[in-house]
Amino acid sequence: MTATSSGHRGLVMEEPLLFEQDADGRTGVDLPDAEGRKPRLGGLERKARIGLPGLSEPQIVRHFTRLSQKNYAIDSGFYPLGSCTMKHNPRLNEKMVRLPGFSMAHPLQPQQTVQGCLELISTLAHWITTLTGMPGVAMSPAAGAHGELAGLMTIRAALTARGDARKTVLVPESAHGTNPATAALCDYKVESIPANERGRIDVDALKAAMSEDVAALMLTNPNTCGLFENEILEVADVLHDAGAFFYGDGANFNAIVGRVRPGDLGIDAMHLNLHKTFSTPHGGGGPGSGPVVLSEPLIPYAPLPYVVADGDGFRMVEHDDSGDSFGRLRSFHGQMGMFVRALAYMMSHGADGLRMVAEDAILNANYVMARLKDSYNVPFPGPCMHECLFDDHSLKDTGVTTLDIAKGMIDEGFHPMTMYFPLVVHGAMLIEPTETESKASVDQFCDTMLHLMERAQSGDADWFHEAPHLAPWRRLDETAAARRPVLTWKPEEEKGEAA
Amino acid sequence: MRYLPHTDADRQAMLGVIGAKTIDDLYIDVPRSALLDAPVDLPHHQGELAVERALSAMADKNLSGANAPFFVGCGAYRHHVPASVDSLIQRGEFLTSYTPYQPEVSQGTLQMLFEFQTMVAMLTGMDVANASMYDGASGTAEAVLMANRVTRRHRAVLSGGLHPHYRETVETYARYGDFEIASQNLDPDGVQDLADLIDENTSCVVVQTPDVMGRLRDLTVLAEACHAAGALLVAVVTEVVSLGLVKSPGEMGADIVVCEGQSLGNPMGFGGPYVGLFATRDKYVRQMPGRLVGQAHDSEDRRGWVLTLSTREQHIRREKATSNICTNSGLCALAFTIHLSLLGEAGFTGLARLNHEAAQRVAERLAGIDGVDVLNETYFNEFTLRLSRPAAEVVDALAERGVLGGVPLSRLAPDNDALKDLMVVAATEMTTDEELDALANALQEVLS
Amino acid sequence: MSDRLYSKDHEWIEMDADIGTIGVSDHAQEQLGDVVFVELPEIGRAVVQNEEAAVVESVKAASEVYSPVSGEVVEVNETLTDDPAQVNADPHGEGWFIRIRVDDMSQLEGLMNEEAYQEFLAELD
């Protein structure tokens, strides 16, 4: 790489931390003068300086613009992260959430003054229950994992109400890490169920694990290998016959929206990630929103608060007189900003368009699988759903790993796929193109992947080990970062003291 | 269908490569009885204009802080957000990127989060902060779980001044996580002592300042009592702007600080998404929940950032993780960071002062109305009134007059009769003299 | 040939009278990758055979270190706290984890010697 005197490289700008651009007395806002009243703080006035940096507005705008330019994003390219559903985020959603009637409404205003907000939540709930074929939905969970928590707590409350103190939750070994973590948070013992040779849950193993101690099975369907659990109706029967509940992880709903309703599959509770299937932006890792749909027996135990139709209007139930609800999981009513975006998206697609979303999503994934399957090893034969899984068998003896392929993809201008997940295959590469990629874009991606495998098999391991070569940064040393964590910036004088 | 690029010819060509005749061949593993042949019973697709009209009609039904005199607080606040905040967070590279798992192509998000962590640590007076939680209430529950891990004890003491939503959230996590809670009731007549409730099984004391009635609390003595008993002090701040004027919880001895960060950069938005701030001491960092960004260097020795200490998290540790949390509030944390960096030291402390003075003006004016008592000795930008009538009725009557006057405490804690006549009133830099006139006049009318 | 004995979970123990020094095998450290953190038990804690005695972490993985036999912790290798890389560099020497006073010497009988462990590893492949 050619060194430059500025440190910039063409359009890639070096950008110091905000704190390194600080000048005392500089600000990016102009505020009116204070009156100079005597404070009513009971002697608790802050005396110490906070240490916040002073910058002007143009410096701030340039700083964050430069930072943004160091990010890969859906807007700029193909982002095939399996299990994450990186689809296009429509800008209409953003426009709608900024309507002052939504953005400037306070969650504790009198309910008669926020009927439009309650109507929106109720309308979205109707879309969700209709698309899932489930009778109820709890809207408040803040994200997918929070929805899982709400679902499992609802199940535990229902079991407790019938005097049933079950202590075990079953989780397939291919599950997202949030599933066992959520079960543990609800004080359940987690038991792992193996996959069969077809990448699905082993129903015999499930039957063997069933007992009166099993509260629920948490199953992702389509599963994390990108496959539909074809024995799902039998799985539901096994659970229900033993008095257990069937929790569905709806992270992969994008494959079936409008074509299959979880309510027809025997599911009792399932969260949906609005930031996956329903296009609310990922925002660099959040915020999400995780409404959880519920079967009839679970509805009374749903979390607070919830919206009900009441005469001509709507009412938010914030306290539960019956004592059945398991309680509250957060402040206020839910991720309203995500609700507005998701409803704008659903209305745009409509019942007809949402079917096409699912169909084009699985078409793209199966197309990628078909084009790559002679080059990359497919551990479980298709058809797949909205994502396709490869293992690293084809890389054997090349000296190139799944991680190296991922870093090579960066040089080729693609965001890497999900790697090393699910854990049930070696060196997993999980590719989810989503329905918003054109054929030309998917073809270019496939051509690149074929080229990378050819390059790996031709003995070019050194190039891979050094990759990425062309990204704004070279490979970062995560080991050193974890051994000596530096988690905040400190002024020079403090660093000196610490050393 | 404007969001779908394929033409029918594309679809046919792709099916051909796959070796399938129809899309339904790809759904072969779905039980036939469960595969829908027709669209579900919902409206069909619509253009932008139609969707915009339908949603605008809903938005227009709301009274809001944009079109009414506004004094509502209790955990969410109406503040002015500079124009550049919203412009920058809508850059596609921030808006449409994912969790920065691939650091070489995610340095924008990572550097921003490192700056966020640093500023949160500065504000709270702590050593280290994570890359954000869902909101203040769930963050508080996570803080209690963390204190249980650190102390290996299983009993949390909750102050009566803790926002009831926060308290209920912690109680939910406790009921299902099998630990004990000792809660005080909210006492309108004074700040209660908590030291008596601490015993040898106590993992932490959770205390909010300013509390849900707006009262400030010196935590110093309580922190000493906690530490003497081997417990941690968890400090909760629902109005982060207060930290511009009030001593930080870290300075007063807190071990974990949780804040609701909505006030900076984020609209009230009818309750979410918000951003939970979570900070602690260095020695507890491995027991922290949530994502953390750390400094690193690349193979050419350039400084950069990576997600670090990930072995605490669910995607690696599964059932042994410190939390099940996966998503953070990345975009809200970005808005927070941009707003706070625009303010800087001078702007942030100045903003806090404007808030405090606005509240003083409102309190003084309302105190002169018959049937109104201001209960607070101390407050930052919200305070509590005792009214001569039940507060819920008064708030409704004010709303009929087009004024959003405050929060009746009975809405948050309907079982506590002592709160029936109490209303919490908030003011910020956005509160105008005209709004104050409208509230004072309407309140006078309602109470007379 | 050393007197080191191995468990199927890839821990080793070396006895000196009734004190056993415990670490992880070279194979285990290789599987784990660069170690970034080690969590050690407090001195005096009772550890139980085949149950967690310590935790070892790399960037992408965390593993429990199981005690091959039961006993009481009498010493821990504090140097690993500052320099966890010792586990990679010298797993059978400077990279030891804990020393315990063994409760029941007969528990050692179920463990493998060097030769048996190497055979065990060969079978794993």
Q: Is C61 on the interface with A (CB under 8 A)?
A: no
In the predicted structure, residue C83 carries a pLDDT above the cut 80: yes
Is A488 within 8 Å of B343 when comparing Cβ atoms? no
Q: Residue B65, SS3? A: coil
The pLDDT score that the predictor gives to residue A123 is 98
Residue of C nearest to B101 (CA): C60
| A100, A183, A471 ranked by CB distance to B105: nearest | A471
DSSP state of A41: S
Residue B260 CB neighbours (<10 A): 27
C62 interfaces chain B, CB cutoff of 8 Å:
yes
Alpha-carbon dihedral angle through residues C118, C121, C123, C125, given to the nearest 10 degrees: -140
- The single-letter code of the amino acid at C105 is M
Instruction: Identify the closest residue of chain A to C36 by CA–CA distance.
Output: A483
Bridge partners (DSSP) of residue A218 are: A247
Tens of pLDDT, residues B387-435: 999 999 999 999 999 999 999 999 999 999 999 999 999 999 999 999 9
Residues 6+ apart with CB under 8 A from A282: A74, A84, A86, A89, A275, B96, B97, B98, B99, B330
Range from A104-108, B184-188, B371-375 carrying the lowest mean pLDDT: B184-188
pLDDT attached to residue C58: 86
| Per-position DSSP letters for A72-91, written without gaps between them | --TTTS---BTTT------H
Closest CB to A44 among B123, B218, B331? B218
Range of the domain at C31: 5-124
Q: What is the pLDDT of residues B105-130, one digit of tens each?
A: 999 999 999 999 999 999 999 999 99
Closest CA to A495 of B310, B295, C119, B397: B295
List the beta bridge partners of residue B180: B155
* CB neighbourhood size of B159 (10 A): 24
Q: H or E stretch including A492?
A: helix A492-498
pLDDT at C31: 87
Domain count across chain C = 1
Give the start-end residues of each E strand in A40-186: 136-138, 168-172
Using CA atoms, how far apart are residues B19 and A382, in angstroms rounded to an integer? Answer: 11
> Under an 8 A CB cutoff, do A331 and B260 touch?
yes
CATH 3.90.1150.10 range(s) for chain B read 344-447
Contact across the interface for A478 and C85, Cβ inside 8 Å? no
Cis peptide preceding A90, ω within 30 of 0: no
Q: C36 — contact with chain A (CB < 8 Å)?
A: yes
Calpha distance B94→A284 (Å, rounded): 6
The length of chain A, given as a count of residues: 499
Please, which pLDDT band fits residue A12 given cuts at 50, 70 and 90? confident
Structure tokens at B242: 């207060």
| pLDDT given at position A98 | 98
CA A224/CA A430 separation, integer angstroms: 9
Token couple for A38? 């005597």
Q: Are the beta carbons of C62 and B317 separated by less than 8 Å?
A: yes
Residues of chain A with Cβ-Cβ distance to B207 below 8 Å are none
pLDDT number for residue A201: 95
* Cβ neighbours of B241 in A, within 8 Å: none
Chains that touch B (3 or more CB pairs under 8 A): A, C
Mean pLDDT of chain B: 95
ipTM of this predicted structure: 0.97
What percentage of chain A reaches a pLDDT higher than 70? 98
- Residue A187: CA atoms inside 13 Å, Cβ hemisphere, count? 15
Three-state DSSP at A498 gives: helix
Full DSSP string of B234-246 = EEEES-GGGGGTB
Distance of alpha carbon C122 from alpha carbon C118, whole angstroms: 6
Q: How many residues does chain B have?
A: 448
Phi, psi angles (nearest 5°) of residue B156: -115, 140
Question: Which of A329-338, B70-79, B89-98, B324-333 bottoms out in mean pLDDT, i.e. has the lowest?
Answer: B324-333
Is residue B22 classed exposed, middle or buried when 0-12, 13-18 and 19+ CB atoms within 10 A define those classes?
exposed
**Closest CA–CA distance from residue C60 to any residue of chain A (Å):** 9
Whether the CB-CB separation of A118 and A107 falls below 8 Å is answered with: no
Residue A75 in this model has a pLDDT that exceeds 70:
yes
Interfacial B residues in 283-312 facing A (CB < 8 Å) = 285, 291-300, 302, 304-306, 308-309
- A497 confidence band (pLDDT: 50, 70, 90): low
CA distance B317 to chain C (A): 7
Residue C86 sits in a domain whose CATH number is 2.40.50.100
Q: Give the bridge partners for B233, in sequence order.
A: B205
Among chain B residues, the shortest Cα distance to A413 is held by B105
Residue type, A324: D
User: CA-to-CA distance for C53 and A348, rounded, in angstroms?
Assistant: 56
Residue ranges with strand state E in B268-341: 276-280, 293-297, 303-307
Give mean pLDDT, residues A412-421: 95
**10 Å Cβ neighbour count for A252?**
28
pLDDT at residue A499 is higher than 50: no
Rounded to whole angstroms, what are the CA distances from C119 to A434, C52, C116?
A: 48, 25, 5
- Nearest CB among B286, B316, B320 relative to C61 is that of B316
Q: A479 touching C, CB under 8 A?
A: yes
Tell me yes or no: is domain B344-447 CATH 3.30.420.40. no
Taking the CA of residue B15 and the nearest CA in chain C, the distance in Å comes to 39
Q: Do A350 and B44 touch (CB under 8 A)?
A: yes
* Calpha distance A220→C29 (Å, rounded): 33
Contact A482 C36 (CB under 8 A): yes
* C59/B286 touch (CB, cutoff 8 Å), yes or no: no
Residue in chain B nearest A74 by alpha carbon = B96
Asked if B291 and B262 count as a contact pair (C-beta separation under 8 A), the reply is: no
Residues of B in contact with A15 (CB under 8 A): 111
If phi > 0 it is left, if psi is from -120 to 50 it is alpha, else beta; for residue A200 that is beta
Q: How far is A100 from chain C (nearest CA, A)?
A: 44
Q: Which residues in chain C are closer than 8 Å to A479, comparing Cβ atoms?
A: 34, 36, 58-59
Window 20-59 of C, Cβ < 8 Å to B: 37, 39, 57-59
Q: CB of C84 within 8 Å of any CB in chain A?
A: yes
Q: pLDDT, tens digit, for every residue of A94-153?
A: 999 999 999 999 999 999 999 999 999 999 999 999 999 999 999 999 999 999 999 999
CB-CB under 8 Å, A106 with B270: yes
Sheet bearing B382-387, strands edge to edge: B372-374, B382-387, B422-426, B407-408
Query: Considering only alpha carbons, which residue of chain A is nearest residue C82?
Result: A483
Q: Does B321 touch chain A (CB under 8 A)?
A: yes
Contact A479 C36 (CB under 8 A): yes
Tokens describing residue A155:
């199940």
Neighbours of chain C (3+ CB pairs under 8 A): A, B
User: Which chain A residue is nearest to residue B349, measuring alpha carbons?
Assistant: A50
Question: Averaged over A432-457, what is the pLDDT?
Answer: 98
Contact A482 C59 (CB under 8 A): yes
A483–C60 CB contact, under 8 Å: no
B232-259 pLDDT per residue, tens: 999 999 999 999 999 999 999 999 999 9
Give rounded-to-5 percent helix, strand, coil for chain A.
40, 10, 50
User: Reading across the β-sheet that carries C62-66, which strands appear in turn?
Assistant: C35-39, C52-58, C62-66
Confidence label for A250 from pLDDT (cuts 50, 70 and 90): very high
CB contact under 8 A, C60 and B316: yes
pLDDT of residue C125: 67
The rounded percent of chain B whose pLDDT value lies above 90 is 92
Instruction: Give contacts of A482 with chain C, Cβ < 8 Å.
Output: 36-37, 57, 59
Tokens of A187: 């004080």
Task: Give B323's DSSP letter.
Answer: -
**Can you list the domains of chain A with their CATH numbers?**
92-347 (3.40.640.10), 351-481 (3.90.1150.10)
All CATH 3.40.640.10 domain ranges in chain B, comma separated:
83-339
Q: What does chain C look like in DSSP terms, one character per residue?
A: ----EE-TTSEEEEEETTEEEEEE-HHHHHHH-SEEEEE-PPTT-EE-TTSEEEEEEESS-EEEEEPSS-EEEEEE-THHHH-TTHHHH-TTTTT--EEEEES-GGGGGGSB-HHHHHHHHHHH-
Residue A440 has pLDDT above 80, yes or no: yes
Q: Are A179 and A148 in contact (CB under 8 A)?
A: yes
Whether residue B55 lies within 8 A of chain A, CB to CB, comes out as yes
What's the gap in Å between the CA of A191 and the closest CA on chain C? Answer: 18
- Select from B220, B224, B275, B276 the least CA-distant residue to B249: B220
Distance from CA of A457 to the nearest CA of B (A): 24
Residue C2's pLDDT band, with cuts at 50, 70 and 90, is low
Nearest to C17 by CA among C90, C102, C119: C102
pLDDT band, residue B322 (cuts 50/70/90)? confident
A479 to chain C: nearest residue by CA? C59
Q: Which fold has domain B83-339?
A: Aspartate Aminotransferase; domain 2 (3.40.640)
- Say if the Cβ atoms of C34 and A420 lie within 8 Å: no
Q: Does C59 touch chain A (CB under 8 A)?
A: yes
Of residues A497, C46, A316, the one with CA closest to residue B271: A316
Query: Minimal Cα–Cα distance from A181 to chain C, Å?
Result: 15
pLDDT at B314 over 70: yes
Question: Which residues from chain C sit within 8 angstroms of residue B310, using beta carbons?
Answer: 59-60
Reference A15, options B17, B266, B304; nearest CA is B304
Chain C positions touching A421 (Cβ under 8 A) are none
Closest residue, chain C, to A420 (C-alpha): C60
Residue C37 and residue A483: Cβ atoms within 8 Å? Answer: yes
> Smallest Cβ distance to B331: which of A95, A281, A362?
A281
Find out whether B262 and B338 touch, Cβ atoms under 8 Å.
no
Q: Do B111 and A70 touch (CB under 8 A)?
A: yes
Q: Which of A236-250, A268-282, B351-365, C25-39 has the lowest mean pLDDT?
A: C25-39
Q: Is C37 on the interface with A (CB under 8 A)?
A: yes
Quickly list DSSP for A277-313.
TT----TTT------EEE-GGGGGGPPBPEEEEETTE
